[in-house]
Amino acid sequence: MMSLAEQERAVLDEHEPRWVRLGYRVIRHPRGTDVPEFLGRFQPDALAIGPQPNLVVEVIRKGARNADEKVRRLKALLGDRKDWRLEVLYSGEVAEGLRSSSPEDIHDVLRASRRLTEKEPRAAFLLAWAVLEAVVRRLAPQDAQFPQSAGRLVELLASGGYITPTEADRLRYAVALRNRLAHGDLSVRLAPAETRTVLEIAEGLLHQMQEDP
């Protein structure tokens, strides 16, 4: 049976290659001046320094009683900072890779989302994000083979140069709406244009892939 330290190391070993590919320098168990001042005495499991936002990485054992409290504390320390982002990884669970969807399946769901845009805007919006993740999984299979947060999808696209800075900003705004809706805030009201933003970017990336030799 793996010790907690071994589980943590295994999780970091799994994710570090992805961060390095994205241009980050990973510092495990940072101490002293390596730890940002805003974290105070908190010592994170790792930092990833590079393309902003930098990452504060914390590995949490699945099912740990203090897990939620630790995440809340870290989020409070980061506040509204734009130059740093919290990345929580869980040990004790095996992440399963997802298969890539075919272009035909992606187009089918894309069309379904468009049809729903006027009548069921919230359902259409969530489908649009599913389409975008499916496209990113085909575009960058090494980085997106496992389930990704909406924010991570945007950063993968932006750091890889797949979308323009303007498109990235539009998606970041949409991420906040998507997260509120996906986590049960049913008061979210969506305009059709917000769904079209996600779909148009996803469709453009899909066409770009199909045109590339």
**Average pLDDT over all residues of the chain:** 87
Higher pLDDT, 144 or 176: 176
Q: What is the pLDDT of residue 148?
A: 77
Q: What is the pLDDT of residue 104?
A: 93
Confidence grade of residue 66 (pLDDT, cut at 50, 70, 90) = confident
pTM: 0.60
d(CA 60, CA 40): 20
Residues 68, 96 contacting (CB under 8 angstroms): no
pLDDT-wise least confident of 141-150, 178-187, 195-204: 141-150
CA 173 to each of CA 75, 166, 208: distance values in angstroms, whole numbers, following the listed order: 19, 11, 24
CA 25 to each of CA 20, 30, 53, 66: distance values in angstroms, whole numbers, following the listed order: 6, 12, 13, 29
For residue 151, what are the β-bridge partners?
Answer: none
Average pLDDT estimate for 36-48: 93
Residues 127, 116 contacting (CB under 8 angstroms): yes
Q: What is the pLDDT of residue 94?
A: 46
Confidence grade of residue 26 (pLDDT, cut at 50, 70, 90) = very high
Q: What is the pLDDT of residue 197?
A: 93
| CATH top-level class of 4-91 | alpha beta
